[in-house]
Amino acid sequence: MRIKRTAIVSFLICAIMAIGIGFAAISKNVEITGTANLGLDASNFKVELVQDGCSANDKVGTEATGVITVSTADASQATFVVSGLKNAGDKVTGTFTVKNASTQAYDAVLAAPRIQMGSETENHYVAHISVTTTGPQETTLAQGESTTFTVTVELTSVINDNSAQVSFMVLMSATSAVD
């Protein structure tokens, strides 16, 4: 009787194993539950204008000056104040340095810089001023890399009040190549 019981138990164990192995052999789907994050961690992605890399030393006109100040609240923005433009052709060119300061190895794809006129009171100068940019248009920066671009403000015609002082907001934006 004991041998018969052992044989039955052994047969049942072998049958259960055969069913399990057979099921595993014919199953094609495996279900795994959990969470995976393959996207960008925005807290580690940072593209900024570098104050030390910004200057407005390229000038045409005896009184033309320019001052660039990178925002301390948002380093993707800078104010470019141009003054002393008196004669047609007077201009100031600001050079801006932008850096991928991400803390992880994210590539940053830079958009073209956007330029906004400062205040409404300065808008009457729009017809007398030309603003041009050169530099990163869809440029990709690896972590730690930098590039430069320029913004040139030129007086195209004489202003009645004899001198122009205008401010511009220079805005940089970028997306991550991992987005």
Q: How much of the chain, in percent, has pLDDT values that exceed 70?
A: 83
Q: How many domains in the chain?
A: 1
**Tens of pLDDT, residues 40-79:** 677 788 889 898 888 888 888 888 889 999 988 888 899 9
The answer to whether residue 37 is domain-embedded is: no
The answer to whether residue 78 is domain-embedded is: yes
The answer to whether residue 69 is domain-embedded is: yes
Task: Answer yes or no: is pLDDT of 179 > 60.
Answer: no
The answer to whether residue 156 is domain-embedded is: yes
User: Residue 134 belongs to what domain range?
Assistant: 42-176
The answer to whether residue 24 is domain-embedded is: no
CATH (domain of 111)? 2.60.40
The answer to whether residue 20 is domain-embedded is: no
End-to-end Cα spacing for the chain: 70
Where residue 17 falls (left for φ over 0; alpha for ψ -120 to 50; beta otherwise) is alpha
CA 165 to chain centre: 30
pLDDT confidence of residue 152: 92
pTM of the model: 0.71
Confidence of residue 163 (pLDDT cuts 50, 70, 90): low
CA dihedral 175, 137, 49, 125 (to 10 degrees): -120
pLDDT confidence of residue 14: 82
The answer to whether residue 165 is domain-embedded is: yes
The answer to whether residue 133 is domain-embedded is: yes
